[in-house]
Amino acid sequence: MNGKTALLVIDMQNDFCEGGALAVDGATSILSVVNSLIAGHDHVILTQDWHPAGHSSFASEHQGKSPFETVAMPYGEQTLWPDHCLQGSQGAEFHPSLKWTKAEMIVRKGFRPEIDSYSAFRENDRQTPTGLAGYLRERQIANLVLCGLAFDYCVAWSALDARRFGFSARVVEQATAAIDLDGSKGRMRQAMEEAGVTFA
């Protein structure tokens, strides 16, 4: 393979783990395999979901709406979530068992009040870049291995965008856990396969 390889660890934060505001089933149980992946990679990049209070993806901001319902945003349909990963909160911190200290880069996303951001590359309007693509290219990193949370949201959107921006992408499925809303797990797995994402 041409270029270097980096591990992209998506959103291993307290709010997505058991007991958190948007807990994903099985999240805590992937920590040991995520930590092994971190130990085994020369380059590690983390993402951190990082919302201001009153973020537009929070159901609490939309009268009459509950978490996991959808709403029409100017950029398209958006799923609504419980308030989670508030900037500076304990819920937004990396899980205490995550061995994250060797990470070379932390990409924060979801900080614009009016746009949600699942992908590590682009916000949900599919236009606003996070800067990650340029960072990877400048560092001659061409290959990504992905793990973390959630398989069918931030991991999948990041892997799809990785392909779109010309990077190879491999998702280590046993180092992920899914929200699985209305079949999103199967749907996103198929979309990733069709986009040339590989699985291990």
154 touches ligand VGL (CB under 6 A):
yes
Q: How many Å apart are CA 192 and CA 128, to the nearest integer?
A: 21
**Which region among 86-94, 98-106, 147-155, 167-175 touches ligand VGL (by CB under 6 A)?**
147-155
SS3 176: strand
Work out how close the CB of 3 gets to ligand VGL at its nearest, in angstroms, rounded to a whole number: 26
83 touches ligand VGL (CB under 6 A):
no
The residue within the footprint of ligand VGL, chosen from 153, 159, 165, 172 (CB under 6 A), is 153
Residues in CB range of 26: below 8 A, 6 or more apart: 177
Work out how close the CB of 137 gets to ligand VGL at its nearest, in angstroms, rounded to a whole number: 24
* Terminal-to-terminal C-alpha distance of the chain: 17
Closest CB to ligand VGL among 54 and 166?
54
The residue within the footprint of ligand VGL, chosen from 12, 44, 49, 192 (CB under 6 A), is 49
Closest CB to ligand VGL among 81 and 167?
81
Closest CB to ligand VGL among 42 and 70?
70
Q: What token pair was written down for 76? A: 């398209």
SS3 148: strand
SS3 24: coil
Closest listed residue to residue 28, CA positions, set 43, 38, 39, 15: 15
15 touches ligand VGL (CB under 6 A):
no
Restricting to residues 96-135, name those near ligand VGL by CB under 6 A.
118
175 touches ligand VGL (CB under 6 A):
no
SS3 16: helix
The site for Zn ion (CB under 5 A) is made up of: 49, 110
Supply the angle between the helices 156-164 and 184-194 in degrees, to the nearest 10: 20
Q: Catalogue the active-site residues.
A: 11, 109, 154
Closest CB to Zn ion among 116 and 159?
116
Helix intervals (H) in 41-124: none
Q: How many residues does the chain have?
A: 200
Positions touching ligand VGL (CB under 6 A) are 11, 16, 49, 81, 118, 149-150, 153-154
